Structures are given as C-alpha cells and as structure tokens.
Amino acid sequence: MSSEKLPVELSKGVNGLEEIILREARGSSAEVYLYGGHVTSWKNEHGEELLFVSSKFSNHGPLQSHGFARNRFWSIGPDPPAFPKKFIHYEFRLRVALGLGGDLMLTSRIRNMNTDGKPFTFAFAYHTYFSVSDISATKCLENATRNLFWCSVDWIYLSAPTKIAILDHEKKNYFIYQILVIFAYIKMQKNIPESSLKCLSHFNSRSLVWNPWDKKAKALADFGDDEYKHMLCIEAATIEKPITLTPGEEWKGSQELCAVPPSYCGGLLDARKVLQCAEKMHY
C-alpha cells in the first residue's frame, strides 16, 4: 500500500472544522478552512511555516467587522450554503492554488447578479499574516527600501509596489514575497465564453502593513499577549475607494505569494539581489 499523500485532501482541523490540505510534489503545502475560507497554513518544501495564525483561532469571535464572509462556512463546488438575504443576488468565489515551487495563489471573484438594476458596493482585502522569528529584527522591504519595526504600526500605501518583501534576519532562510496583482472589473454577458470577456478597467491595489505591538495585543480578545513578536500583517486591499458593480459586472482580484532563497553581499542578506532574483525566477 502506497504511503504517498494525496495532492488534495479533505480533513478535520481545529475544533473538528473541515479543512482542505493542498500538497505540491516538492513538499510545499497549504491548508484552507471551509470556515471563512481561511488559509491557515503555508509551508515551504522544508516544512517551515510561513503564515501566522493566533493560538486563539477558532470558530468563535467578533469577526463581523471584517466582513460577513470571514465567519461563514464556505463549500466546494457549485452548491454554496445559503447567504444572508441581503446577499442572495451576489456570487462570491475563492480559488486557492499551490503552484510549482510552492507559490501560493489566491483568486477572488464577486459578481452582481441583480435583475432589478441595483448596484452592489463593497470593500475587499486579503488579510495575510506572515510568521516571523522576531518582529524587532524583521524588515519590510519595498524596492529594497527597508523599514525596521520597533513599535505598533498601521501603515497604508496608496500606491502599492508590485512586490513587497519580508526579511527575517533570525531565520535567514527565505525572503517572502507578496505579489500584489492588479484587480479588475469584468462585464459579464450571456452565452459568451469566459476567455472572451472584456476587462472594463484595472486599478492597482493598496497595501496595509500592521502589527499591534504589546499594548494593543493585550487588548485584543482573539490575539495572544506576546504573539505580536512573531507576526507581520501585509494586506492587499481596496481601502481608499469602495468597489461598485452594476448588474452583470464581475470583480476579480488575485494575490500571489512566493518564497525565494536569500542572497548575500559581504556576509549580509542583500535585498536588491533577491528582488532581482525574484524577477528572473517568477515574473
């Protein structure tokens, strides 16, 4: 009997909640909970965890402030569970893929299927929490410009770069790249193949960098007092201006995360060389 693990497996996770485990041939993996569509784990081929999840993660907590989709059960396939009545005229889809080399790719689609002519307005964000060894020795890099963290941060970049890197000096194993892909509006038309759909407009995402630090961490009910030391949140979001879809329009957003080996210059991790390496390896 073969002991080889399946590339896609439905399993039970925290509190018996259903989760999907994705595995890549070289050893990378990802775990996605049907509760909220949460991606709770992303590991490289060495089994190192790249995402942060609080030890207080469960199917309880006041998550409504971040949208109804985060505390509802999702399903696989064409028969989703019932949404609140005010959302029955809209379609929400999430695609999670683990690419060759272990890249983690998320694609979200939201469609306005109203027949009464009413528009649908919403905001959107990928809340990505990265695992770091020590936040005080972690750097966030934008085109090799370094930001070192020493206090609570809540930054918003209105003109987000294509690539944002996180440098973990203690691990010195990997640069973690967040690729913020263009969001787009698509006009849906009947009896037209999806490959032929016309993209009406594009716009770049905004980025938010967040860490609560010690005082704010203690005030959060669903966050450990000292867990701020081992996480950094970088969000790709539409936060400056809400998105409005007219009936028949669809919105699509995607994000890709990848990890590349570090480069050294004079014995130190060299951000510029890693940025160049990522450009050649992936894009």
Classify residue 228 by burial, with Cβ atoms within 10 Å: 0-12, 13-18, 19+. Answer: buried
CB within 8 Å of 248: residues ≥ 6 apart: 112, 113, 187, 188, 189
Please tell me which residue in 89, 127, 230, 282 is annotated as part of the active site.
127
Candidates 179, 178, 165; CA nearest to 270 is 165
127 is catalytic: yes
d(CA 78, CA 188): 18
Query: What token pair was written down for 261?
Result: 């080996």
Please tell me which residue in 235, 249, 250, 256 is annotated as part of the active site.
235
Exposed e or buried b per residue across 126-164, where buried means at least 16 C-beta atoms within 10 angstroms of its C-beta: bbbbbbbeebeebbbbbeeeeeebeeebeeebeebebbb
Phi, psi of 169 (to 5 degrees): -70, -30
CB 219 within 8 A of CB 62: no
CB within 8 Å of 220: residues ≥ 6 apart: 212
Point out which residues pair with 166 in neighbouring strands. 140, 176
The catalytic residue positions are: 127, 235
